Chain A
Amino acid sequence: MSYLELSGLQKRYGSAVAVDDVSLSVAKGEAVALLGPSGCGKTTTLRMLAGLIEPNQGMIRVDGSEITRLPAHKRNMGYVFQSYALFPHMSVARNVAFGLEERGRPKAEIARQVEEALAMVRLEGLAQRRPRELSGGQQQRVALARALVIHPSVLLLDESLSNLDAKLRDTMRHEIRSIQRSLGITTLFVTHDQVEALTMCDRIAVMHRGRIAQIGSPEDIYERPATRFVAEFVGRANALPAERGSDGRVTLWGAAQPVTAPVEQAFDIFVRPQRMRILPLSEPAGDATARVTGKVLRNVFVGDHVEVLVEGAGGQLTVEMASGSPVPPEGSEVAVVWRAQDSLPFAREAA
């Protein structure tokens, strides 16, 4: 039973279409990420949900009742803005109290709830500070507490971690996820960062050009990308130009492979670099294993892994090896192998 439901949402600005037909249902307590590059319409979708932008078409339902035309202040949605949008003229406590004050709650109750909310985000001692006296991470927590204290029906987070440095982003990621789980609050994240989407959410909706390209669990999205765009955007992939022989077998870099492809037109085979292995030329490939050969151009040490750049008959590819394992010397001829099932065929895009 879906708790939050978007159907056929559309937003146009003149002739430009920002969001073109987005439908999505989210179960109660579920966390869903809207993942996509900038300009894909993910923030516009979130703002339509919050009532900050009016859709041209479509419908939004929460818990069975339609709210498509309801003004923002009547929607009871917690929104954490990318800029945090904390009120600079109010203390941390007043910022958090704002929503409760607008709801006319008694003073004592407000004080108690504000205290609880600040404790939840571990900001107890800072209630009387002004937002500008806080660090980026602390401001982020205030924004979160302010959005949660009103017990929103849905929590909306817009690129909430993008203004933090890498280390802090890791901490906040876990913290937000554990708060979200313990409160069991239905949550929508907007992000362009795949790690954020993969680690924080139950499901991911990948958006592309104002539509949802694929929706599924993080594993689904990563292992079984539905479109070429999803395969390119989430994780890294080698795109190997492929040919189909008359017998239906696929040829890569001039070598026939135990790989089948259902498509008729020109296509590429996508393989994740960490699914590839490097073997000496002499070693034969096993059953159901794809194999191409080439020369090692360069080894690039990237810390926790080594990228091996191999050039062969059909171009170049990258193999990711755990650092510490022996890497082939540059200039040596090697075989690159992977399990046939790790090959993902996608039609080449018409230029």
Chain B
Amino acid sequence: MTASARLPLLLIPAALFVLAIYAWPTLLLMRNAFNEVGPTGAMVEAWSLKTAADTFADGFTFELTLNSIWLSLSATAIALALSYPLSLFLFRTDSRWKGLLAVIAIMPMLISSVVRVFGWLAILGDRGLVNGLLQSLGLISAPLKLVFNWTGVTIGLAESIMPYMILALLAGFGQLDRTLEEASRSLGASPFRTFMRVTLPLSLPAIALAAGLGFVLSMSAYITPKLLGGGRVFVLATEIFEQATTNTNWPVAAVLAIYTLVLLLALLALSNVVAKGLKR
């Protein structure tokens, strides 16, 4: 039929858009990684690996990598510990408010990240909610340093990746058959034993995927480390932005961006392999 043969023509505008505004700039980014920076700081067109070599020879790059990985690991671990029970609750509940509860759980991803960061400033700041509470209870005399350091960034980051992880976990739980848990209970296992022997093992693939997603999102997060770090937290994302804008050192920014991307792809592949291995 001619009509269905013409259907793929509808893809042309979108294809042109993705090619011109997405694929081409990405290639341009790769190209910039081979340029050099002259002594005056101006970019010199080249096809060399000098920028890459200099960047990786710099101990700071190594430090940034460790910072990024450590931050992402801790944020992902915290977010997972909080998301898992919440997702299991949403999966299990018979509440008539189930729909609303699910919306609330993933609402943060629809609210501006700047707004949420500002909320954390008000909670964790020197004169914020937590310090105010602890001081009025007489538990501390001087305010705890909870923001503009790694603590604040980790907390804020964990919260910002939770909705994505909850969605990933819920999707994974879809394959969890409730009758299996009922079978376990009928065979004499306590709720706790049922969780340890049936529910948890069956949800391990979902956990691996959610953790992979959370890690990737943390590694590439910029707003939270920037604002809650208060200029004292240095990770790959903040460095890429600094190099690209403040320093206008595009080759270095491009090298770091590609480097980060490679790290992410390796991690995604790893979490997929783990999830697949667990599924068997």
Contact = CB atoms under 8 A, between A and B. Distances in A.
A247 to B, nearest CB: 61
B115 interface: no
B3 interface: yes
A116 to B, nearest CB: 32
A148 B141 CA distance: 86
Contacts, number: 6
Interface string B1-41: 11100000000000000000000000000000000000000
Contacts of A72: 1
Contacts of B2: 71
Interface string A87-118: 00000000000000000000000000000000
A102 to B, nearest CB: 15
Interface string B107-149: 0000000000000000000000000000000000000000000
Interface in A51-74: 51, 54, 71-72
A72 B1 CA distance: 9
Nearest to A52: B1
Interface string A136-154: 0000000000000000000
A54 B1 CA distance: 8
A267 B2 CA distance: 52
B51 to A, nearest CB: 50
Contacts of B1: 51, 54, 71-72
The secondary-structure label for the interface of chain A is loop
Contacts of A71: 1-3
A60 to B, nearest CB: 14
A51 B3 CA distance: 13
Contacts of A51: 1
A71 B1 CA distance: 6
A118 to B, nearest CB: 31
Interface in A39-56: 51, 54
Contacts of A54: 1
Interface string A270-305: 000000000000000000000000000000000000
A72 B4 CA distance: 12
A54 B3 CA distance: 13
B25 to A, nearest CB: 39
A137 B2 CA distance: 37
Interface in B29-80: none
Contacts of B3: 71
A263 B156 CA distance: 83
B7 to A, nearest CB: 13
Nearest to B3: A71
A39 to B, nearest CB: 25
A156 B3 CA distance: 23
A314 B241 CA distance: 86
A72 B3 CA distance: 11
B122 to A, nearest CB: 47
Interface string A292-334: 0000000000000000000000000000000000000000000
A51 B4 CA distance: 13
Nearest to B2: A71
A49 to B, nearest CB: 15
Nearest to B1: A71
B277 to A, nearest CB: 31
B83 to A, nearest CB: 37
B129 to A, nearest CB: 50
Interface string A329-347: 0000000000000000000
A212 B3 CA distance: 32
Interface in A205-251: none
A193 to B, nearest CB: 32
A54 B2 CA distance: 12
A51 B1 CA distance: 9
Nearest to A70: B1
B22 to A, nearest CB: 34
A54 B5 CA distance: 13
A71 to B, nearest CB: 5
A297 B242 CA distance: 89
B280 to A, nearest CB: 29
A312 B90 CA distance: 61
A201 B1 CA distance: 32
A48 B240 CA distance: 59
Nearest to A73: B3
Interface of A: 51, 54, 71-72
5 smallest CB-CB distances across A and B, nearest first, come from A71-B1, A54-B1, A71-B3, A71-B2, A51-B1
6 contacts: A51-B1, A54-B1, A71-B1, A71-B2, A71-B3, A72-B1
